[in-house]
Structure 1
Amino acid sequence: MTDRLSWGNGTLTIELEWSADSAPRIAAVRSEGTSLTMPAGLPLVDVLAVSHGHSLASDRLVHTVIGHESRYAGHDQRSTATGVELRIRLAHEDTGLEIELLLQLLHGLSVLRSSASVVNRGDGAVVLRSVPALALYLGGDNESSIRDWELHHALSDWLGEGRWLAEPFDGVRFPRLEQHLTNHNPRGEFRVISTGTWSTGKHLPVAAVGSRRLGAAWAWQVEHNGAWRWEIGEDTAGGYVALSGPTDTDHQWTQTLHPGASFSTVPVAIALADDVTAAIAQLTAYRRSTRRPHPDNAAMPVVFNDYMNTLNGDPTTEKLLPLVDAAAAVGAEIFCIDAGWYDDSGDWWDTVGEWIPSTTRFPGGLGEIIDRIRQGGMVPGLWLEPEVIGVNSPMAQRLPDDAFLQRHGERIVEHHRYHLDLRHPAARAHLDDVIDRLVRDFGIGFFKLDYNIDPGPGTDRDADSVGAGLLAHNRAHLEWLDGVLDRHPTLVLENCGSGAMRADQAMLSRLQMQSTSDQQDFLKYPPIAAAAPASMLPEQAASWAYPQPEMTEEEVAFCLATGLLGRFYVSGHLARMDARRRELVAEAVAVAKSLRGELTASTPFWPLGIPAWDAPWTALGLAVDGGALLTLWSRDPGAGLVELDLSRFAGADLTVTTIFPRSLPEWDTHWNAETGRLRVAHHAPEAGARVLRLQAAVPPTGAVSATAAHSASQTPWR
């Protein structure tokens, strides 16, 4: 006899089934306009242990012996203030493991959040090797195969963040193996992993698959500030996706569960919609709903930072005072003094960690600069790299060895820094003292929290494995951040990790803004800025605008436009600019302030498809009530003409207006309501950018709004 449970929130429904002879599994899913049936064969939860491996030898996250042998042991469901929860319990008789999967749905969203916990109820120890937080078939109909789907994922790097690509599941990635002849599952998979603590340093923990034939798409994220893995695979029943934190195979993670001990996975989230753009829109709404409450979430004050293409870590009183006055004059609301403010030597890299203001850089004291910032009506901010201690810092000797990440009894050294182990009370106490002192003594209201090293797989001090030590440190880091914001509820924290090398949802759900890159070539920034809202909220995405006095007016406008559909983040030698260029900066700041309310309810889309690194044209759209905001960059003056896919507004009377820059020549536009195409011409002999407002006088049926996005186009992300 098969038991079945239907559970959902009215927007997304999940059908689960089990029997006395089979493990619980997801049998079907339904959302608005999308319905997928799941084949049998994939257990609801897979646990890999040293004593109980795979049912067929492989490196997969799925098809483990414990997963297939686990049986239903009960479930509970309840309503919460924000949605519904289901806890389904499984038991594995041989090991005595009790496994609980926690599934959560928010009201009105087609996004499933999942995490698993494992408790040892047996008499002997069990050594865990991997526990995915969620695994499910992609689903479909009787004709479905993995080759119905196309994968969307992103490569990332310092200065080259978020380079998305689309890959069809054709005969190269997933060849037809005729596995039905062996009646065994294939052994391979396509895995994407991140090691260490740069959680977005090489790949993003955000990806999607879409099927045009099925009219369905999944988009997911692993919500962890350390090591993670997601994989796509195919078995004899169909294609699947599995999402996980650290594993033994990839991250040197094992966890010994003695009787009575437990382990919980990192959380993951997955959205279901009818295409990839709509699935990303669902994740966008989910990210917005699960952010830590903070006044900055809506206020979004404009930040000026002295680093990028400006002081570059060499602040002094002489250099800062003119910048402070210029930033105030253009309307900045926060002024952040970046790296170097604590350094007396002129070479601060390996001496960081004490965070005492320099006396040589500021003969009148740092307080003189802070007072000038306040006089300009701005909130003072400082750069910190809290998790590291330079090898030549006084703190390197004051803190005990156990306060640092270690391997084989030695402190880990990377790029002339030690790395604090935030499991240790002395490490956390030091950082708390630093934050509290700077807030108390200088009234700091903004910290840019940077992170420029990766300590590797982890620490073996006081841990079952190197990976387990790192996971515990990652979790302690999040607890520390929560503690800082609990003590200082109006303090604004920027997340920066050599640009966006640690831009995961665990961090983004807590911190107020995210630097999207350290890219200093303004012509290379557009694809980074345009792709950022696929993996973070538009209002969190701080893409640097660093105009310079020697730039042409079009180049100044280009730099400023790059950041306007996000958290506006300004740098540049404003004090050296002539009046005309400074007026352009002030104009952009005013526009940024006027857009704040719309950005916090917007949904991203891409009228030219996935942003390409070398494309002559790049576009980012944000759907807002009544239409959209659109930034269009032209990096090749010879391109001249581009046609944007705005089929979401087909049939509507679309008014196109330039909102920035208003003082430079407008670009020619022509709207074809029948085809849903907007033609834009840029005939200037240099690169340029414009920020446009698209106002739909009569919204078309199924048009995108700030709360729902749908693209009729068959081109990825349009």
Structure 2
Amino acid sequence: MAGTIDPANVVSVQTQRAQLNFIVDSGGQAKLLYVGSLRDVGDWVQRLKPVEDAFSLTELQVAGGDFKHKGAKHASTSESYELTYAEHTVQDLENGKLLTIHEIDETCDLDVYSYFRLYDNTTAIRSWKKVRNHGTGPVTVEYLSSFNYSGLLQQDDYPGNYATHDDMYIAHNSWTTELQWQKDTIQHLGMPYFGQDYEVDVSDDDTQDSGEPHMGVYLSGSSSKRIGVTNNSSWSCSEYSPNGGLHNRATNQSAFWQIENNGAWHYEIENHYDGSILNLELSGPEEYDNQFWTTLQPDDEFTTVTAAFVQMNGPLETAIDEMTVYRRNIRRVNADNQKLPVIFNDYMNCLMGDPTSAKEFPLIDAAAKAGCEYFVVDCGWYDDGYWWDTVGEWQPSKKRFPNGIEEVTAYIASKGMVPGLWLEPEVMGIRSDFANTLPDDWFFLRNGKRIVDIDRYLLDFRNPAVVDYVTKVVDRLVNEYHVGYIKMDYNVTTGVGTDYHAENRGKALLDHNRAVLAWRDSLYQKYPDLVIENCSSGGMRHDYGMLSKDSIQSVSDQTDYTLNAAISGVAATAITPEQSAIWSYPLPKGDQEETIYNMCNALLCRIHQSGYLNKLSAERLAYVAEGITTYKQEIRQHIPHAVPVWPKGFPHVYDDEIVYGIRDGQTLYLGVWNNLKANNQIKVDLSAYGEVTSLTQVYPGPKDAIQATMTNNIGLFTFPQAKMARIFKVTLK
């Protein structure tokens, strides 16, 4: 039931950087009023009286509940009107606080716990919820938001016209063109605005004094429209990244968010209240979009996936900076993300899945000469020929490796590099003799049949026998083949889920995904120094369910080095720079500038070196070695502490000019790529980052310097020809 608020009763929880405000209104409901950077929210709260049907702390839909909205959106779910505040606690933790708010629904016999983790070093806040059945009968939960927030970016703009003031950023994904952000106004995305000029005459309505919320105004004033972004299946990033952003041009406020699940998820923005405010909801899978629900028997609990949210003053880039710090907070502590060793992988524009001992030895020699520190044998090592649909047993091919694959891994180690192997443990090929001896309960099933995706069966990690089997495979790679690096790929998708031993397909997929993450945890507990690369046909699973575990992410399978530059230049919107593995693959018939360009793609992230280094001219191999040396001596020490900068906005593939950098305190490394034409001059304004005191080209060296000047923080970079790139060091004051 809606109620009014008393500003004197607002509860504020703060850390050194973050703040959350909630209140219990006169109807006994908890209302989430503000989440974001430190600020005085008194004026905002005063203007919100009375709180009608918005600002619910929790959106919860149960089977049989009465939806309180029009259309498919999740705002004003049935139980958001029934939940009442019970208590809250604030726990002091290292680097911040944990706020827990307990709500009760006596109608459905449910307890809901909302958790908010605030940090001292970032304004980003982590959020998740747990629901428990305290009754005597079953309750089916169809939707429970991980995070729900009304009044998005409107503290300084209420009632402002969010439809035209706010730009929304959506990260579109496709295989080999990951993280292509598109910006549009809320209005152009179809969301109407009513705002302060919208009035309804309710003088003759006899319900207005009944004490019940007056739904006539709400349903007339807000829209059935939602701006919804959804992912289904086990590729969490198959069409969109689980991230989004919003910028209010009128107030220069920004918000940024992420959902941390390695499968299905959903977020949406809708207008709310009387149509004058925006509401954001972040969730894992749910019934309407993902075929998920869960029936809780008495004493059963369900916990949502986690999500993170940033709201602050400044451009969207500043909010991403805060999210970058947050991602480092939640990530497994590991040496790989501090040392950033240089990795050679034999796949991209190189062996392309056709390794043999004879081919590997000269590549190993060349990679060691160039300065690589890890050497990874990619796919194909386990089959004599075409291997795609026979994978599953993971035994080395004697034809490819006559003296055993141990000979190759030992040779890698003898050259001072750590050996690595490719693995795709979550699948088995349909022509695998081993797979066809296994019972069906090892695999995803629908309607009694094994799901087949591109000639592969999909292993179901809910089955302990599956987990035991893949663990033994990893044991063999580590203990017998002596690998310290595993590239774990995942090139297929499950669809919406499995219906075998499942309440529903969406619930089974979530349980499987959580079992995959638990398996990763078990591997790191057993092998704490093992480096596991997260790969799904490149970046199709770059979520922080996976990346809170794995230290490195393959960002893309893009084979065109000029398109790869744009993907490299935008990866840090979703992945920390030290986890973003970017290919550098000089082409056999390339030239000096192509080699330099390839190296520039990787130098501000993680170097994934490839290409036939053993076939390059001495001059071109020297450029690779120079790039790796520059990375080791000059750049990589800064990457684990740096935040990304985009002086010319987020790049897109096919852009003529790309500018991306990383800033660590007063040191900024800037990459500039020219794809357009000869004698093109690229202008870069760095005034947002401080006063520039020096500009130096650091790669390649002085003999290949281009004309670059800096005047009043404006850089001018002149490229003699198209398809050129350079890395610069900028010192700030």
TM-score normalized by the length of structure 1: 0.94
Q: Does 1:213 align with 2:220?
A: no
Alignment-derived partner of residue 27 in structure 1: 33
Given that residues 121 and 325 in structure 2 are in contact (C-alpha distance below 8 angstroms), is that contact kept between their aligned partners in structure 1? no
Counterpart AA for 2:729: R
Q: Does 1:387 align with 2:426?
A: yes
Counterpart AA for 1:420: L
**Structure 1 pair 58–623 and aligned structure 2 pair: CA distance change class (3 A):** same
Counterpart AA for 2:271: E
Equivalent-residue separation in structure 2 for 1:634 and 1:653 (angstroms): 22
Equivalent-residue separation in structure 1 for 2:726 and 2:549 (angstroms): 32
Alignment-derived partner of residue 119 in structure 1: 132
Given that residues 265 and 284 in structure 2 are in contact (C-alpha distance below 8 angstroms), is that contact kept between their aligned partners in structure 1? yes
Shift of 1:252: 0.7
Alignment-derived partner of residue 164 in structure 1: 181
Equivalent-residue separation in structure 1 for 2:723 and 2:242 (angstroms): 33
Equivalent-residue separation in structure 2 for 1:144 and 1:300 (angstroms): 46
Alignment-derived partner of residue 704 in structure 1: none
Alignment-derived partner of residue 598 in structure 1: 638
Alignment-derived partner of residue 333 in structure 2: 293
Equivalent-residue separation in structure 2 for 1:577 and 1:665 (angstroms): 19
Alignment-derived partner of residue 140 in structure 1: 155
Q: Does 1:645 align with 2:685?
A: yes
From 361, 374, 377, the counterpart of 2:413 = 374
Shift of 1:468: 0.2
**Structure 1 pair 549–408 and aligned structure 2 pair: CA distance change class (3 A):** closer
Equivalent-residue separation in structure 2 for 1:95 and 1:10 (angstroms): 39
Alignment-derived partner of residue 212 in structure 2: none
4+ residue segments displaced more than 6 Å: none
From 325, 333, 353, the counterpart of 1:313 = 353
Equivalent-residue separation in structure 1 for 2:561 and 2:230 (angstroms): 30
Q: Does 1:52 align with 2:54?
A: no
Given that residues 549 and 577 in structure 1 are in contact (C-alpha distance below 8 angstroms), is that contact kept between their aligned partners in structure 2? yes
Equivalent-residue separation in structure 1 for 2:544 and 2:99 (angstroms): 22
After superposition, the C-alpha distances for 1:624-643 in whole angstroms (9 at most, x for unaligned) are: 23230011111122460111
Q: Does 1:150 align with 2:163?
A: no
After superposition, the C-alpha distances for 1:268-288 in whole angstroms (9 at most, x for unaligned) are: 000122121110000000011
Counterpart AA for 2:72: D
Matches within 5 A, 1:533-548: 533-548=572-587
Shift of 1:232: 1.0
Shift of 1:592: 1.7
Shift of 1:59: 1.3
1:470 alignment partner, SS class = helix
Q: Mean Cα displacement is larger for which, 526-535 or 55-64?
A: 55-64
Counterpart AA for 1:37: W
From 496, 514, 520, the counterpart of 1:481 = 520
1:427 alignment partner, SS class = helix
Q: Does 1:328 align with 2:368?
A: yes
Counterpart AA for 1:159: T
Matches within 5 A, 1:259-278: 259-274=298-313, 275-278=315-318
Shift of 1:392: 1.5
Equivalent-residue separation in structure 2 for 1:328 and 1:568 (angstroms): 14
Alignment-derived partner of residue 5 in structure 1: 11
Counterpart AA for 2:146: A
Given that residues 189 and 227 in structure 2 are in contact (C-alpha distance below 8 angstroms), is that contact kept between their aligned partners in structure 1? no
Alignment-derived partner of residue 44 in structure 2: 37
Q: Does 1:176 align with 2:193?
A: yes
Alignment-derived partner of residue 692 in structure 1: 728
Shift of 1:615: 1.6
After superposition, the C-alpha distances for 1:610-652 in whole angstroms (9 at most, x for unaligned) are: 21322211011111232300111111224601111211245x3
Equivalent-residue separation in structure 1 for 2:234 and 2:372 (angstroms): 33
From 389, 410, 416, the counterpart of 2:449 = 410
Equivalent-residue separation in structure 1 for 2:391 and 2:650 (angstroms): 40
Given that residues 162 and 193 in structure 2 are in contact (C-alpha distance below 8 angstroms), is that contact kept between their aligned partners in structure 1? no
Q: Does 1:550 align with 2:589?
A: yes
Equivalent-residue separation in structure 1 for 2:188 and 2:363 (angstroms): 57
1:67 alignment partner, SS class = helix
Equivalent-residue separation in structure 2 for 1:537 and 1:639 (angstroms): 34
Alignment-derived partner of residue 304 in structure 1: 344
After superposition, the C-alpha distances for 1:658-712 in whole angstroms (9 at most, x for unaligned) are: 1111165212122121xx321111122x31000110012xx1xxxxxxxxxxxxx
Given that residues 446 and 493 in structure 1 are in contact (C-alpha distance below 8 angstroms), is that contact kept between their aligned partners in structure 2? yes
Counterpart AA for 1:48: Q
Alignment-derived partner of residue 281 in structure 2: 242
Q: Does 1:199 align with 2:233?
A: no
Given that residues 216 and 273 in structure 1 are in contact (C-alpha distance below 8 angstroms), is that contact kept between their aligned partners in structure 2? yes
Given that residues 29 and 37 in structure 1 are in contact (C-alpha distance below 8 angstroms), is that contact kept between their aligned partners in structure 2? no
Equivalent-residue separation in structure 2 for 1:30 and 1:552 (angstroms): 49
Matches within 5 A, 1:246-261: 246-261=285-300
Equivalent-residue separation in structure 2 for 1:171 and 1:659 (angstroms): 43
Alignment-derived partner of residue 716 in structure 1: none
Aligned-residue sequence identity (percent) comes to 33
Matches within 5 A, 1:467-616: 467-594=506-633, 595-616=635-656
Q: Mean Cα displacement is larger for which, 241-250 or 20-29?
A: 20-29
1:608 alignment partner, SS class = coil
TM-score normalized by the length of structure 2: 0.92
Counterpart AA for 1:79: D
Q: Mean Cα displacement is larger for which, 387-396 or 482-491?
A: 387-396
Q: What are structure 1's unaligned runs of at least 5 residues?
A: 700-718
Shift of 1:29: 4.2
Equivalent-residue separation in structure 1 for 2:199 and 2:23 (angstroms): 24
1:483 alignment partner, SS class = helix
Equivalent-residue separation in structure 2 for 1:30 and 1:537 (angstroms): 21
Q: What are structure 2's unaligned runs of at least 5 residues?
A: 201-215
Shift of 1:402: 1.1
**Structure 1 pair 417–172 and aligned structure 2 pair: CA distance change class (3 A):** closer
- Over aligned residues, Cα RMSD in angstroms? 1.7
**Structure 1 pair 514–172 and aligned structure 2 pair: CA distance change class (3 A):** closer
Equivalent-residue separation in structure 1 for 2:125 and 2:709 (angstroms): 41
Q: Mean Cα displacement is larger for which, 452-461 or 55-64?
A: 55-64
Given that residues 10 and 22 in structure 2 are in contact (C-alpha distance below 8 angstroms), is that contact kept between their aligned partners in structure 1? yes
**Structure 1 pair 99–600 and aligned structure 2 pair: CA distance change class (3 A):** same
Matches within 5 A, 1:422-461: 422-461=461-500
Counterpart AA for 2:78: V
1:543 alignment partner, SS class = strand
Shift of 1:34: 8.3
Counterpart AA for 1:405: F
Equivalent-residue separation in structure 1 for 2:520 and 2:555 (angstroms): 20
Alignment-derived partner of residue 90 in structure 1: 103
Shift of 1:403: 1.5
Shift of 1:433: 0.3
Shift of 1:172: 5.1
Shift of 1:106: 1.5
**Structure 1 pair 49–399 and aligned structure 2 pair: CA distance change class (3 A):** same
Given that residues 91 and 98 in structure 2 are in contact (C-alpha distance below 8 angstroms), is that contact kept between their aligned partners in structure 1? yes
Shift of 1:578: 1.3
After superposition, the C-alpha distances for 1:486-535 in whole angstroms (9 at most, x for unaligned) are: 10000001011001000001111110111110000111111111010010
1:310 alignment partner, SS class = helix
Counterpart AA for 1:609: G
1:525 alignment partner, SS class = helix
**Structure 1 pair 350–34 and aligned structure 2 pair: CA distance change class (3 A):** farther
Shift of 1:653: 4.3
